[in-house]
Amino acid sequence: MIAVKPALEEEQSTADAVAAITSIMEAAPRQYSAAPAPVLSPKIRPVPAPVQAPKENGFQPRIPVITGEATYRGSAEVHGTIAGQLGGHTGMLAIKQRPRNGSDEPELDGEISFKDMLRINGHIAGKVFSQKGTLIVDTSAKVEAAIDVRICVVSGMVVGDIIGHERVEVGSGAIVKGNIATRTLSIKPGAVFQGDCRMLKDESE
């Protein structure tokens, strides 16, 4: 019993010391936060594309003369670059034309036939044919050709006769110098039409 009392007193004094230190720490101003530093998520930044040096013979190609799939037989004026191969059933050429400097020569001169839809963006001459297709003449286009299609929509210039078996639409600002034969004709104000018009009979009649 006598040996136990000093041990109890020692444990009590240790507990008092720990309590005193704890109270001092709580009373002291906190200078540093014990909270862990926030983890910053990495930001994904787009990598800029490498700057390519301009080629010596590089140029900005102009809009292709036609847009769409067509069969062509004739000649083409090329002033630019040609890539691809000819021959066989898989022959293909990619043509990049330089900008034109006041030249009035047609870019394509021959016969063009297509199935679904064809847009003319440049200067062509010859003949354009499609039994069931739609031809669109862009505002910047010049067509010096005989046109025989199902539907023809003119926003640019056409010099030649137009046959539209279903309808022909002449937009505002368009110029047509030639005869028109169709079942349905639409000419908007501002268009110029110089020629004769013949209305076709309905095929179902």
Q: What is the pLDDT of residues 88-133, one digit of tens each?
A: 666 677 777 777 776 778 999 999 999 999 999 999 999 999 999 9
Output the pTM of the full model: 0.67
Mean pLDDT value across residues 164-175: 96
Residue with the bigger pLDDT between 199 and 36: it is 199
pLDDT surpasses 80 at 85 = no
- Tally Cβ neighbours within 10 Å of residue 153: 19
Query: 167 and 153 in contact (C-beta within 8 Å)?
Result: no
Band (pLDDT 50/70/90 cuts) for residue 53 is very low
Phi, psi angles (nearest 5°) of residue 112: -120, 125
From residue 83, give the alpha-carbon distance in Å to each of 10, 76, 142, 148.
Answer: 98, 15, 26, 32
Mean pLDDT value across residues 72-80: 83
